[in-house]
Structure 1
Amino acid sequence: MKKRFVLWSLLGFGIYALLLGLYLFQWSEFGVPEAYKGTAADPETFMTPRELELTEEYSRYRYFLSFLGQPLEWLLYLGIMLMGASVVFKRFSEGVSRFSAIQIPIYVLLLSTISWFIMFPLDYIKRKLSLHYGISTQSFSSWMRDEIISFWIGFAIMALLITVLYKLMKWSQKRWWLYAWLLMIPFFVFMMYLQPVVIDPLYNDFTTLQDKQLEDKILTLADQADIPADRVYEVNMSEKTNSMNAYVNGIGSNLRIVLWDTTLNRLQEDEVLFIMAHEIGHYVMNHLYWNLIGAIVAAFFGLFFAYHLMNFVVSKWGRKWNFHKVSDIAGLPVLFLILSLLSFAASPIELAVSRQAEKAADEYAIQMTQDKEAAVGSFQELTVNGLSEVNPPALVKYLRYGHPTMMERIYMLEQYDHKKK
């Protein structure tokens, strides 16, 4: 059984990688449709031939590595079950303590550690690719520091959630998914409140914006949108990346307007103001809260389907895999596998909704600033700076893009008519 799993996994993953490579490197065209030729969305109008070549190369390799990760994660969880590693983790944790409040975090730590080590080579290759094409500037020690921080933050959150979840499973075999969902609602809100002031500063240094004139202009935009902010934060990202970004996150008193220093260094002031108007648009249209509602709704259906699928797996393969009830912690990899598959199935819908929200924020920003030149220029610079493919293959767009393509965004801004709107 174990040998067959290894052989079929290697064969299946190899065929998948081959087909993926053919799709990205042979069957997909990265060109610009005729209707967009010569417009501001045509990269030939604002990129050099060498930049165009690097963009296509980098995009193909980046997409290839990105699509490899998902099935590798599924095989990882399935392999842990079939190889008996999950039962070993469970017995070890039971040998450490007789209390489930200690056993479960130990099990989660073992599972998280083995998962991290197996996925590490792929993450390292992604880093090397980013370095090779000049996107990342981060040293290995700094990158490892961020990896370790992410690991322990992820473990702490996951250990808490899984401990509570399995307590609920033992307490109520039929309603645990509903009670877990109800507890997830305040947890999501708490994490939104906590993220800007506790978690984000663990990775980067945040300071108030040094350019006070620019800060006043951004706060004026924020005031027009009724955003309760009295300062703009600047984060030092140039030590890690050449990419640019800006965002508004947090809720209540922890709301923050944040600019990466790379954005400040590479864009003109009017272009920065357009980018900030875009982020302000998300706040004005309540996208932060709609994201929260979306996460709550997704959690409801995810837990509901996970409840039924876990019962099915236990009855079908539980004895073979040495876990005999849903509340047995040895079945956690199965739960992770189910949730990952459900998340993947829902991702096209979630990404489509996200693309619409981003388009609405672009429209809000151009209405607010009424500076078409700055709007187009900012996205052109983002394209060049990040080696972003303006017209990715359809599969990439619908399974990976939470924003409209750069071609769609730039063309919309160039054609935007303020008077009609």
Structure 2
Amino acid sequence: MKKTVLSSIVVYIVFSVVFCLYIFNWADTTIPSGYEGSASDPATFMNEKELLISEEFSKIKNALYFLSTPYEWLLLFILLSVGLSKKFQDWAKGTVRFRPLQVFIYLFWITLFTTVLSFPFKLFGYNVSKDYGISVQPFNGWMKDYMLDFWINYFLTGLIVLVLYGLMRKSPKRWWLYGWLLSIPFTLFLTFIQPVFIDPLYNDFYPLKDKELEEKILSVADKAGIPAEHVYEVNMSEKTKAMNAYVTGIGDNSRIVLWDTTLNKLEDDEVLFIMAHEMGHYVKKHVFFGVVSYTLVSLVGFYLIHKLMNIIIRRHGHRFNIHDPKEVATIPLFFLLLSVLSFLFAPISNTVSRAHELQADTYAVELTKNPEAAVGSFQQLTKSNLSEVNPPFIVKLFRYTHPPMVERIHYLDSYELRESEK
């Protein structure tokens, strides 16, 4: 196992070097010749310094993502391979007799292990955002959010693990099916409570303060058939200079949310387009579709994890000193398989998401009839967020839930031409 661990570390280092070369030297991010000089060409709305900073920032963030994800896999593999997972399990059993507490004690130690060793990546990402003027959040505020993430994820993960491993003990062959069935109401529950109870733990949410703008939004919302109470403003200017807007929740808990930075930097017509875009998600039920599709995909995921865990423990369990998938010590293996499968599925889910975003763009420009405001809003978003206008293919495949800005701006810029040709 020592040789296997060393080999894994060497593979990770080689991968990191090759991928950094791809991101920083080999990948082509130039604007297609047909777009040069158009509204989608960043050279037409960004100066030379902004272009350079945007390119540098995007490359660093992309490299950080693709290096941190396999690094987390490596940590989980090390937990299994060197016997730490088994030792944490024995330690928890020796501490208390009550099994649920054993699970939470064990989970605390492996969560602490992975969190501490992953912290340099998180800290580097925070510092990069600060250095490039995206984040304005003080370090103590960032650490507060980081610790809040730790405890929320820890307790939610503990509940999930407790239920799943309880099902494994009672039904080794069918636990994956029962776990999937239970995940449906749990997913719906989280989707309902997130916008109301979890999101406000991080930021302040309140109705729009600008009443004149509110009246304009109410008019657009009325055309879309959306109740006005689904529009919220969130105080993000104390943390970031970036802009954003999103739709979250389902049913009566659905919320269309605008960052105050978006309100501060965009003209009213541009804000109305952004709002119309988010209304498009609401009208076309993209959040609901996302929950349903996630539920169906998770069924396949549960089944694959069940099969793969059995195969791995049967063939290699003796190397980990683990002989039964039902042992709590297999949790790192469960998380590892879940993360790898999620990563491999990302290109498919991102493709669907990009299609939804294009539908929302189309809905918004047809609702507002103002392609100039649409183009202007995306140009300003690109500048404020230091977005990469035309990302490398692999980055787009695995990271981009939205179409690249070069595509979105070009689509909106040519809207009037397409309409006139109909």
Is the structural similarity TM-score above 0.5? yes
1:72 aligns with 2:83: no
Per the alignment, residue 364 of structure 1 pairs with 363
Distance 1:212 1:232 in 2: 13
Using the TM superposition, give the Cα deviation of residue 418 of structure 1 relative to its aligned residue in structure 2, in angstroms: 3.6
Instruction: Pick which of 340-349 and 404-413 moved more.
Output: 340-349
Aligned to 2:263: 264
| Corresponding residue number in structure 2 for 1:63 | 62
Match of 1:144 in 2: 143
CA deviations over 1:201-222 (Å, ceiling 9, x no partner): 0000112211012122222322
Report the alpha carbon displacement of residue 231 of structure 1 after superposing the two structures with TM: 5.7
* Matching residue's letter, 1:360: Q
3-state DSSP class of the match of 1:31?
coil
Query: Deviations 1:279-333 (Å, cap 9, x if unpaired)?
Result: 1001111100111012101210110100100110111011221221111101111
- What is the aligned partner in structure 2 of residue 221 from structure 1? 220
Q: Does 1:104 align with 2:103?
A: yes
Distance 1:249 1:14 in 2: 38
Q: How does 1:268-287 map to 2 (within 5 A)?
A: 268-287=267-286
Partner Cα distance (1:179, 1:228) in 2:
37
CA distance in 1, matches of 2:69, 2:421: 44
Q: Deviations over 1:139-176 (max 9, x none)?
A: 10000000011111101110000000001001101100
1:30 partnered with 2:29: yes
1:170 counterpart residue number: 169
What is aligned with 2:341? 342
Opposite residue 54 of structure 1, the aligned amino acid is I
Alignment partners' CA distance in 1, 2:353 and 2:14: 32
Q: 2-side partners of 1:353 and 1:164: how far apart?
A: 31
Deviation per residue, 1:89-109 (Å, 9 max, x gap): 101111222121111111111
> Is residue 2:310 matched to residue 1:315?
no
For 1:143, give the aligned amino acid: W
Partner SS state of residue 318, structure 2:
coil
Does the aligned pair in 2 maintain the 1:30–1:56 contact within 8 Å?
Answer: no
Alignment of 1:106-255 (within 5 A): 106-230=105-229, 232-255=231-254
Identity across matched positions, percent: 48
CA distance in 1 between partners of 2:173 and 2:78 (Å): 28
Larger deviation, residues 5-14 vs 302-311:
5-14
The one-letter code of the counterpart of 2:156 is I
Q: Deviations over 1:323-359 (max 9, x none)?
A: 2111110111111111111111111111111111111
- Residue 244 of structure 1: how far off its partner (Å): 0.5
Equivalents in 1 of 2:89, 2:230: separation in Å? 49
**CA–CA separation in structure 1 for the residues paired with 2:188 and 2:363:** 26
Within 5 Å, give how 1:327-338 maps onto structure 2: 327-338=326-337
Q: Which amino acid aligns with 1:182?
A: L
The answer to whether the aligner puts 1:373 opposite 2:372 as a matched pair is: yes
Query: Contact 2:230–2:254 (CA<8 Å) still a contact in 1?
Result: no
Q: CA deviation at 1:229?
A: 3.6
**Paired letter, 2:227:** P
Contact 1:215 1:232 in 2 (8 A): no
User: 318-327 or 110-119, which moves further after superposition?
Assistant: 318-327
* Mapped contact 1:178–1:303 kept (Cα < 8 A): yes
Give the aligned partner of residue 83 of structure 2: 84
Distance 1:55 1:333 in 2: 37
Give the drift of 1:224: 2.3
Cα contact 1:366–1:372 (8 A) shared by 2: yes
Residue number in structure 2 paired with 1:392? 391
User: Retained in 2: the 8 A contact 1:208–1:231?
Assistant: no
Question: Match of 2:202, as an amino acid?
Answer: Y
> Is the partner of 1:230 in helix, strand or coil?
helix
Deviation string 1:255-295 (CA, Å, 9 cap, x unpaired) is 22221110011000000000010010011111001110121
Contact 1:65 1:122 in 2 (8 A): yes
Q: Which runs of 5+ in 1 are unaligned?
A: none
Give the residue type in structure 2 aligned to 1:293. V
Q: 1:7: how far off?
A: 2.8
Distance 1:112 1:166 in 2: 17
Matched, 1:93 2:92: yes
Instruction: Name whichever of 194-203 and 321-330 sits farther off.
Output: 321-330
| C-alpha distance in 1 between matches for 2:307 and 2:231 | 47
2:412 maps to which residue?
A: 413
Contact 2:5 2:81 in 1 (8 A): no
Q: CA RMSD in A?
A: 1.2
Aligned residue identity for 2:31 = V
Question: Does the 8 Å CA contact 1:370/1:418 hold for their aligned counterparts?
Answer: no
Report the 3-state secondary structure (helix = DSSP H, G, I; strand = E; otherwise coil) of the residue aligned with 2:237. coil
Amino acid of the structure 1 residue aligned with 2:105: I
State the distance in 2 between where 1:418 and 1:99 align. Answer: 68
Partner of 1:17: 16
> For 2:239, what is the secondary structure of its paired residue?
coil
Instruction: Report the equivalent of 1:300.
Output: 299
1:24 is matched by which residue type in structure 2?
I
